[in-house]
Chain A
Amino acid sequence: MPIPTSFVPRRSRPALALALTLLAACGGGPTSPGPAVRLVGGPELDADVRALAATRADAVDGAPLDAELRVQLALAYEANGLWVEAERAWDQALHFDAERPVWLSHKAHALAERGDIDAAVATFERVVQLDPAQDAARFRLGMLYLERAEDERALAAFAEVARRQPNAPSAFVGQAEALNNLERESEAVAAAEQAVKLEPSYKRAHYALGIAYRGLGRLEEAERELALGADSEARYLGDSLSVQMQASRRGFGARVQDAIDLVDANRPAAAVPILEEVLVGHPDDRIALVNLGVAYIHTNRPEDAVRVLTRAAELDANDFAVLINLATAELALGRKVDGLRHSEQCVKAAPNVSATYYMRAHAYMAFDRIAEAFTDLKKAMALDTGDPRYPLEAGDCAVALGRTDEGIELLNAGLRLQPDSVPGLVRLGSACHALGRRAEAVDAYRRAKQLQPAQAGVKELGRLLGLE
Chain B
Amino acid sequence: MTRTRGIWVAAALAAQGLLGCGGGDAPAPTSPSSRAPGNAPAAPAAQSPPTFVEAAAKWGVDFTHVYAHEQRFWFPELASGALALFDYDGDGDLDLYCVQAGDCKAGEVVTEGNVLYRNDGGHFTDVTAEAGVGDTGYGHGVAVGDYDNDGDLDLYVANLYANVLYRNDGDGTFTDVTAQAGVGLDKWTVSCGFFDYDRDGDLDLFAVNNVNWSPIVEMKCETNYGVQDYCSPGNYNAPSVDTLYRNEGDGTFTDVTESSGISKGTGVGWGVAAADFNLDGWIDFYVTNDGMANLLWLNDQKGGFTDRALLLGCALNVNGTAEAGMGVQAVDVENDGDVDLFMTHMHNETNTFYLNKKGVFTDRTAATGLGVTSLLYTGFGMGFHDFDLDGELDLYIANGRVGLTPPHLSEQDPYAEPNQLYFGLGDGKFREDTRGPTAKKLLGTSRAAAFGDIDDDGDVDLVYMDWAAPVKLLENVGERRGGWIGFRVVGPHGSDALGATVEVVAGGRSQFRRCDPCYSFCSANDTRVHYGLGPAQSVEEVHVTWPTGERETFGPFEAGRYHTLRQGTGR
> Which residues of A come within 8 Å of B, CB atoms?
40-42, 44-47, 49, 78-84, 111, 113-119, 146-149, 165, 167-170, 177, 180-181, 198-204, 206-208, 210-211, 214, 219, 222-223, 226-227, 229-238, 242, 245-246, 249, 251-254, 256-258, 260-261, 265-266, 286-287, 290-291, 293-294, 297-298, 318-322, 324-325, 328, 331-332, 349-350, 352-355, 358-359, 362, 382-386, 389, 393, 420-423
Q: Chain B residue with minimal CB distance to A312? A: B7
A147 touching B366, Cβ below 8 Å:
yes
B265 touching A252, Cβ below 8 Å:
no
A223 touching B5, Cβ below 8 Å:
no
A44 touching B13, Cβ below 8 Å:
no
B311 touching A352, Cβ below 8 Å:
no
Residues of A within 8 A of B32 (CB): 80-81, 254, 257
Known: A115-B375, A223-B311, A350-B238. A294 touches B10 (CB 8 A): yes
A149 touching B367, Cβ below 8 Å:
yes
Q: Chain B residue with minimal CB distance to A346? A: B9
Residues of A within 8 A of B109 (CB): none
The 10 residue pairs across chains A and B that have the minimum distance between CB atoms: A207-B320, A238-B26, A116-B38, A115-B38, A352-B212, A232-B320, A149-B366, A321-B7, A167-B24, A81-B32
> Which residues of B come within 8 Å of A, CB atoms?
4-41, 212-214, 216-217, 219-227, 236-239, 241, 263-267, 292-293, 310-311, 313, 315-316, 318-322, 350, 360, 366-367, 371-372, 375-376, 404, 406-408, 414
Choose among B31, B35, B225, B267 the residue that contacts A45 (Cβ–Cβ < 8 A).
Answer: B225
B28 touching A236, Cβ below 8 Å:
yes
Choose among A117, A219, A254 the residue that contacts B311 (Cβ–Cβ < 8 A).
Answer: A219
Tally of A-B Cβ pairs under 8 angstroms: 283
Known: A148-B372, A229-B320, A230-B315. A421 touches B17 (CB 8 A): yes
Residues of B within 8 A of A297 (CB): 10
B28 touching A331, Cβ below 8 Å:
no
B12 touching A230, Cβ below 8 Å:
no
With A118-B39, A214-B311, A287-B5 given, name 10 new contacts (CB 8 A): A81-B34, A117-B372, A202-B22, A230-B310, A236-B26, A254-B225, A266-B19, A328-B13, A355-B9, A386-B265
Choose among A44, A201, A332 the residue that contacts B406 (Cβ–Cβ < 8 A).
Answer: A44
A352 touching B214, Cβ below 8 Å:
yes
Choose among A78, A352, A382 the residue that contacts B238 (Cβ–Cβ < 8 A).
Answer: A352
Residues of B within 8 A of A82 (CB): 34, 406
B311 touching A44, Cβ below 8 Å:
no
B25 touching A169, Cβ below 8 Å:
yes
Residues of B within 8 A of A291 (CB): 7-8
Residues of B within 8 A of A219 (CB): 311
Selected A-B contacts with CB under 8 Å, 9 pairs: A41-B406, A148-B366, A199-B25, A207-B320, A210-B320, A223-B311, A297-B10, A322-B7, A423-B15
Residues of A within 8 A of B310 (CB): 223, 226-227, 230
Residues of B within 8 A of A203 (CB): 320
Shortest A447–chain B CB gap in Å is 13
A40 touching B407, Cβ below 8 Å:
yes
Most buried by A among B18, B212, B237: B237
A251 touching B226, Cβ below 8 Å:
yes
B408 touching A265, Cβ below 8 Å:
no
A318, B217: Cα distance in complex, Å? 9
Known: A168-B25, A230-B322, A320-B217. A383 touches B212 (CB 8 A): yes
B27 touching A83, Cβ below 8 Å:
no
Residues of B within 8 A of A293 (CB): 10
A266, B18: Cα distance in complex, Å? 7
B35 touching A83, Cβ below 8 Å:
yes
Known: A44-B225, A168-B23, A253-B225. A81 touches B33 (CB 8 A): yes
B31 touching A79, Cβ below 8 Å:
yes
B406 touching A319, Cβ below 8 Å:
no
B408 touching A362, Cβ below 8 Å:
no
Choose among A207, A236, A321, A350 the residue that contacts B316 (Cβ–Cβ < 8 A).
Answer: A207
A335, B6: Cα distance in complex, Å? 27
A202, B19: Cα distance in complex, Å? 8
B37 touching A115, Cβ below 8 Å:
yes
Shortest B189–chain A CB gap in Å is 15
Residues of A within 8 A of B414 (CB): 42, 44
